[in-house]
Chain A
Amino acid sequence: MHDLNNSAIRSAWETLSAALDFDNGNQQVRWSEEVERRLKENGLTYQAHTSRDYESRQGQLDVVPYLMDESTYELLALGLSQRVRFFEALLADLYGERRLIADGSIPAELLFANPEYLIEVHGLNPNSPWISFLAHDLVRDSEGQWFVLGQSTRAPAGLGYVLERRMIMSRVMGYLLRRMSVKRLSGFFRTLRSFLRADSRDNDLSILLTPGHTVESYFEHAFLANHLDFTLAEGDDLTVRGNRLMLKTLSGLRPVSGVLRRVVDKDLDPLELNPQSRHGIPGLMEVVRSGGVRMGNVPGSGVIDSPLWMGRFDGLCQKLLGEELILKSIPALWFGDSDEHEECFSLWPNLLVRHAGAYPTSESFVVHDLEPIEQVRLRARIEADPCGWVAWAAIDLERVPVANGSVRDESHAVIRMYTAQSQDKKIDVMPGGLAACNHSAAWAQLRPNTPEQYKDIWVMGAEPDTQLSIFAEMDVFVIGSNDQSMTPSRVADAMFWLGRYIERADALTRLVREVLAGVIDVRTEKQQAAHWLLGAQINTEDITLEDAAFDIHQAFFVRDAPGGFSELIDAIMRNARATPDYLSDDSWRALVNLEQMINRIAWMKRSDAGRLLDQVDLILMQLAAVSGLNNDTMSRTYANCFMDIGRHLERASKTLILLNYAFQSLKPQDISQWEMVLEVTDTVMTYRRRYRTRLHPTAILDLLLLDADTPRSISYLAARLEKLVNTLPVQQLGSRKTQLQQTAFAIHANLQMAAIDNYMTTQGSAKRPLIENLDQMIEQLAGLGEAITLAYFSHADVPQHLVKVGR
């Protein structure tokens, strides 16, 4: 239970438990549901970002927070700050003079068996602190003694989650946070931000370097980048020129002076470090060495994450700082030392064992939970390389209450707390964090990164934090002032194609809808028209539409149908994932729904055309939701501009292709077919309002090609395209931009000079110049697409290794 001997905690707990127990505990149930619902909503976004199952997202959020009084926080803050100072001194020695190795203070094997020790970093003298942020996992034993379970320089692993979970808690029970004077987190994030922003040159950028959407924590990276107002960038978005790190943006290469990295140390530079790395930037290490970029954390600092030397920190701190370590690490034994080795095996199998790799993800075992044969195997592995393993007897952890329906039971907690260090070595400890809970004390301390539940940590101040209201808590982080010309080229490329694929899906859906509506119509002419329309999309020679639902399902809905829905949605999601911080959460949800819908239809067994039609209507609605949201909720950035260009370009060429098909194959009296042309282009209502006559090909051409006010007409789209192209950044493009503008202008001009008499006979048949002109415009549009790619997206070359000189 919470430490009820502590009066501050006791009174806070009274307030908290009274609130939870309100209405016979139903308040706790309602809040739990609310928390779960909000997590699930975010989870959907998460799933969209990472193409992983939401279910795999570990650890729910407990509605009961972990309570911490201010004096405990201050004690921990003092201890954690001291540890950061200690690690700075330790790293400086390890990568510098290595006195601690030479004099035996650190056994040589302990360092050399540490897979995070990078010899390539030797001699590096960073122009910033080694550790700009650090996560510590702390435990309190049943006697109230605090220990450090491990530390991770790969922080801010979880920083995004801390934010996300605090936001959820304050939405669900905001008044409680206020009443209990819970300390706010925003100050900490400001320090973190200022660390990488400090004295940055005017035009320089700060970025969050991520391995990309293939890693599980990508959602968190995007979330954090957004809230810190850093550009989210992958290795391929960056390059080294003139010994500076550069972001490839729409307006050319822009220098980067601050990097918050989520790429592991070894993968940062394929030239000097892991040559197989696909997440790094060739030449980066030399930039770091010469002080050209400030990086948090400095490459090589991951060496402190290894659990191997936990038991030795106390002595080393004495040696380096002349101070006793305030927060001791758990008393872990290292198999590489013969005495400790013997002690370990005398305790065997009542031990927890961890491998040398970075905490907390390195291999770990609860030995007595293993099968006897596995115990033997583990022992053999340890004996084969004892220097690579540590062990400790499980610590009896404090118990904390967790919600269980309307009541509470007990669990064990590991506290994760974060420190940030500024350029001038000011250390800030976040007054909060996450507690990782597990009903098994052993598993809680072995795998704190995969707990049964998380808790938000509430540090309670003596009096209310009056600076800002609790609701401003959320707003503080949302700054969103990123200079839009800083958009990475890769992102703009993805937005362009996202726009194109969404529009392509929209066009296909409308076409399939009309075909289906036609085949279920009793009238023969409608059925013939449906067959005709299908011919606009696929080869209909072998298709009779006797079993229309089957044929159409085969042609467009089964998985991997060429040009079908599954291909389109894959392309949409692929491009969307490359642009995470440019789409709103609502857009993400709409996209995920769309994907699920299309997958469902793909697996649909036999169906009739009517049922399929219902499904297609749903797709169309969902697509409208995606498009609408993207127009309404996205801020107008270059990225959006590229998406708009993609959409207009695709829409115009799809309409032109349809017109070309119609005017070459239809007679004026094919009324059902002409009607379908209007339906597919979504202009039936406009036509009726405008012409109030029966359908006539000349009027249709006038509307769809030449009418400047109809948002679906080519004339309108061409004008929009010209305008959009003119707003694109010109920097460093020179003649290419001019060429681009000329192409866009040519299409628009072409239409402005067109006269309907040149195109149509008085009887309503197409003349030769119409077909020629449609063909020409289709080609011009393709040319425009290529010109945009050439001008803006051609930075995408990925570096390759040279053949090494051997022997």
Chain B
Amino acid sequence: MKYRIRHKNRYQYGQPVSLCHSSACLLPRDTLNQQVLSARLVILPVVDHVGERKDLFGNRLSRFSIEELHSDLMVLAESEVEVRPARNDGIRQIAWDNLAPIPPKTRLYLRPSLYVPTAGTALKAFAEKFFVSGTDLLDAIESLNEYIFNEFIYDSEFSDLETPVNFVLAEKRGVCQDFSHLMLAVLRSRGIACRYVSGYLETDPLPGQSKLLGADASHAWISVFVPGAGWVDLDPTNGLRPGDRHITLAWGRDYSDVIPLKGLMTGGSKHVLDVSVDVTRLE
């Protein structure tokens, strides 16, 4: 499936800004199931130079600075991407507590990270519901994924970018980012390597298909490492395994590794951010 993605971010400042250093993770990466046909950033005011590099995870990071007085900043990411459904069939059944060793570099995804704590009694009790000794790994993960989808309420008023996982668990509310962080915390507390995926959903589904939750902005889900089989994606916000309607932007330990756009400005005082995302199916 081919998509065109337009992700537009606009800051309007209360006072002019004399200097702004910014970092973006807005250009999609290639994956096993995804090929990036084209991708570019449009920045206004125009910048001389956008530095691009690959981070530890292989994501494409862009760095730019605006050194002239401006009262308005627009960063538009435009890309065309082809996605094939992941083939996760044929994964052998294996008990979650009897997994083959995880390769060294992948073990980074076992550690707690900024937004993914792995300690806490509530978290432990919650995890034990799904991970009974001997349960098949994918079965356990699937049931956790469905549980979050069924029992948690999607509520964009409830949380912000910094809401702790334990609070999300206690209140059973949140958005895609919160559900993903919670799921990562549960899995890592059980010794399962998993990562945070930032991306998009098709915004306007074809007739007969349901509109997915979280389609109006960028989306987030998770990916689990299954020894012997590779990475398997799960979307707890929609209670499903992503197919060809999920477009991957980047991944990392948690949100803090793949923040789509951040920056520091001199001046500016109060400012507002306006974000719009359009994902259009091309064929």
Contact = CB atoms under 8 A, between A and B. Distances in A.
Contact of A112 (B21, B53, B108, B264): B108
Contacts of A108: 104-105, 107-108
B65 A805 contact: no
B217 A112 contact: no
A282 interface: yes
Contacts of B217: 806-807
B227 to A, nearest CB: 14
Contact of A799 (B11, B19, B119, B259): B19
Contacts of B205: none
B90 interface: no
Given A104-B104, A108-B104, A807-B220, A801 B54 contact: no
Nearest to A283: B21
A102 B105 contact: yes
B263 A271 contact: yes
Nearest to A795: B266
A239 B107 contact: no
Nearest to A799: B264
A120 interface: yes
Nearest to A98: B105
Nearest to A388: B111
Nearest to A101: B104
A119 B65 contact: no
Interface stretch (B35-43, B131-139, B140-148, B267-275): B267-275
Nearest to A803: B273
A800 B107 contact: no
A805 B219 contact: no
Interface stretch (A240-248, A437-445, A466-474, A649-657): A240-248
A805 B111 contact: no
A738 B207 CA distance: 71
A755 interface: no
A286 B51 contact: yes
Contacts of B175: 807
B220 A123 contact: no
Contact of A123 (B54, B67, B263, B266): B54
A243 B51 CA distance: 10
B21 A240 contact: yes
B161 A806 contact: yes
A123 B23 CA distance: 17
Q: What is the size category of the interface that chain B forms with chain A? A: 35 or more
B83 interface: no
B78 to A, nearest CB: 16
A84 B88 CA distance: 48
A283 B65 contact: yes
A1 B107 CA distance: 49
Interface in B85-130: 104-105, 107-108, 110-111, 119
Contacts of A806: 160-161, 177, 217-218, 255, 259-260
A807 B218 contact: yes
Interface in B244-277: 255, 257, 259-268, 271-273, 275
A667 interface: no
B53 A801 contact: no
B107 A122 contact: no
Chain A interface helix/strand/loop/mixed: loop
Nearest to B237: A807
Contacts of B104: 101-102, 104, 107-108
A797 B267 contact: yes
Given A122-B55, A286-B51, A799-B19, A112 B107 contact: yes
Nearest to A121: B56
Interface residues of A, number: 39
B105 A802 contact: no
B99 to A, nearest CB: 15
B58 to A, nearest CB: 10
B4 interface: no
Given A98-B105, A123-B54, A283-B65, A804 B266 contact: no
A272 interface: yes
Interface in B213-248: 214, 217-220
Contacts of B20: 802
B70 interface: no
Contact of B264 (A98, A104, A270): A270
A802 B53 CA distance: 22
A318 to B, nearest CB: 20
A635 interface: no
A781 B18 CA distance: 30
B9 interface: yes
B119 A805 contact: no
B71 interface: no
A113 interface: yes
A113 B263 contact: no
A141 interface: no
Given A272-B23, A801-B264, A806-B177, A109 B111 contact: yes
Interface in B13-63: 18-23, 49, 51, 53-56, 63
A805 B18 contact: no
Nearest to A109: B107
A290 interface: yes
A131 to B, nearest CB: 21
26 contacts: A101-B104, A102-B105, A108-B108, A109-B110, A113-B111, A119-B56, A122-B56, A123-B54, A239-B266, A270-B264, A271-B263, A271-B264, A282-B21, A283-B264, A797-B267, A799-B266, A800-B264, A800-B268, A801-B263, A802-B11, A803-B272, A804-B161, A805-B9, A806-B160, A806-B161, A807-B220
Given A804-B260, A805-B218, 7 more contacts: A123-B54, A243-B49, A272-B23, A799-B266, A804-B259, A806-B177, A807-B219
Interface of A: 98, 101-102, 104, 107-109, 112-113, 119-120, 122-123, 239-243, 270-272, 275, 282-283, 286, 289-290, 384, 797-807
User: Closest 3 CB pairs between A and B?
Assistant: A282-B264, A108-B107, A805-B261
